[in-house]
Amino acid sequence: MKHLFWVIAPCLFIFGGFSLLQDVSTTNANKVEIDSLSTRRQLRRSFFELREVLVIYGAENKALSEEYRTLLDSLARTSHNDSWRSMAIRFKEASQTKETDIRENILFLVGTAESNPVLKRMALNTPFELVPKLIEFNQKEYTSDDAVLSVSLYPNAENDTLPISFLTGNDESHIYDLFKRKVNNGGRSFFRQNMDYELYRNNTRMVLGDFDEEWKLDTSTFFDFSLGNDLVHSSKHFDFVDHQGTVLPDGISSLGSKIEQKTQTILDFFGANQELPKMSYHSYKNAEEKGLMTGNTDQAHFNLSDNSVHTVINEKYQDNFIEKENALLVQHLIGDSKTKALQRGLPIYFTDQWQREGYKHWSTRLYESGNALPLAELLNNEIVAVESALIVDCMSASLTDFLLETWGKVTFVKNY
């Protein structure tokens, strides 16, 4: 179900799947009708030929505006390689923008409609209505402060051979937080996303879809997860958010108790009494829905940036415990390790039923079948980064177990 927009784009060029004709006719001051028979193809061609994006940002808060400038200046100074995903970055504050900037560049616009008049002007020709504290599309209104809309590659109404993208919302601090997260995760490819438009709430995609050939919302690729995302349980260290009725109330309570018990085990191991941030645990029905909402189809993953854990809970994964919350907790308690195998192995060391049978079982199977990684490769961070996660993770946990028995906890932590 994942719409791998950026991955398949080059192939679509080869097979001509998006052959469309460009012909823009103005119907009134605020709307344009786009003949999509060439526009989509032209937008991508322009994007990959120019390989330069002008980011136009706006913020009413002066301190936030300075944070944008600092972040973008740092991004623009990063090394630029020949990858088709790596774009040169220029940036301007919205009030400093000239008409030629708008007509002659690939644009990425960020801010509220009030703080960024260029964004407000460009959005008039899209299916989205932006007014103070409200985003409206598909006959539905989104008014919460944490609602942020991300739109990718829409025709510039003033030069339809070039695309615009924009990130906007109801609160400029939430917009900046998501933009910063995209930059930190994607670098010069921060503009990439799975679908044409994505509405976020609390850093999670809630509504998403594509445009049709007339640049209207395509009803055949529309996903709405804005309802059924409930805080169903709270424990000492975690808030549990259930998406789309994944887990029954009794199941959440039991899950919460088990996670708190393991959390205390890890805290006792480190002898930690430090104050930890409240973490959130999100449960999903299947990998497809988790992928659409988070961009990650793994059974489980965690985000250090917002202290969240995201896990698929269904019959397929019954009794198959990954416990990524252990990794998040260990990250807070001890941080990064110079040896990535130890960083991956220590959380799994605390996971009793990792991949149902436990890491010791799977390490033994690898050794008996002749597929175990040599120690030199397991200690090589570059090899660990590209090797099979299943192989690396169970062997890293076994290495952690061995070192703890051989060195003891104090020496292990010292060399972590």
What would the pLDDT profile of 234-243 be if each residue is shown by its tens digit? Answer: 999 999 999 9
Single out the residue in 171, 202, 224 at which a domain terminates: 224
End-to-end CA distance of the chain: 39
User: Which one of 40-54, 186-200, 207-221, 245-259 scores highest in mean pLDDT?
Assistant: 207-221
Among the ranges given (182-186, 205-209, 362-366, 394-398), the one the predictor scored with the smallest mean pLDDT = 182-186
Looking at the fold, whether 316 and 352 belong to one and the same domain comes out as: no
Is residue 25's pLDDT more than 70? no
**What's the whole-number mean pLDDT along residues 31-38?**
47
The mean per-residue pLDDT over the stretch 28-32 comes to 41
Write down which residue in 317, 334, 351 finishes a domain.
334
Together in a domain, 368 and 329 = no
Mean pLDDT of all residues in 381-403: 96
Whose tokens are 């644009």? That residue is 107
pLDDT at 52 over 80: yes
Q: Is the pLDDT of residue 63 over 70?
A: yes
Indicate if 92 and 54 belong to the same structural domain. Answer: yes
CA dihedral 134, 140, 146, 150 (to 10 degrees): -90
Q: Are residues 166 and 234 in the same domain?
A: no
Q: What is the CATH number of the domain that holds 276?
A: 3.40.30.160
pLDDT tens digits for 302-324? 999 899 999 999 988 887 778 99
Domain identity same for 324 and 376 = no
Residues 70 and 157 in one domain: yes
Q: Judge if 261 and 309 occupy the same domain.
A: yes
Q: Please state, for a pLDDT cut of 70, what percent of the chain lies above it.
A: 89
Question: CA-to-CA distance for 56 and 119, rounded, in angstroms?
Answer: 8
Helix locations, 271-339, DSSP H: 287-294, 324-334
pLDDT higher than 60, residue 395: yes
Can you state the angle between helices 5-15 and 36-50, rounded to 10 degrees?
A: 110
Range of the domain at 304: 229-334
Amino acid 187: pLDDT: 83
Looking at the structure of the chain, the number of domains it has is 3
pLDDT score at 78: 83
In this predicted model, what pLDDT tens digit does every residue of 147-190 receive, in sequence order? 999 999 999 999 989 999 999 999 999 999 999 999 998 887 88
Q: What is the b/e burial string over 108-144, where b = at least 16 CB atoms within 10 angstroms of the residue's CB?
A: bbbbbbebbebbbebbebbebebeeeebebeeeebeb
Tens digits of residue pLDDT in 192-229: 898 999 999 988 899 999 999 899 999 999 999 988 89
The percentage of residues in the chain with a pLDDT greater than 90, rounded to a whole number, is: 72
- 327 plus 353 within the same structural domain: no
Same domain as 415, residue 298: no
Same domain, 93 and 150: yes
- pLDDT of residue 20 exceeding 60, the answer is no
Write down the pLDDT at residue 1: 44
What are the tokens at 414?
């010292």
User: Based on the domain organization, do 200 and 109 belong to the same domain?
Assistant: yes
Whether residue 103 has pLDDT greater than 90:
yes
Q: Which candidate, 18, 1, 56, 22, places its Cα nearest to that of 291?
A: 1
Q: Look at residue 7 in the predicted model and tell me its pLDDT.
A: 37
**Which of the listed residues 270, 304, 334 is the one where a domain comes to its end?**
334
324 and 350 co-located in one domain: no
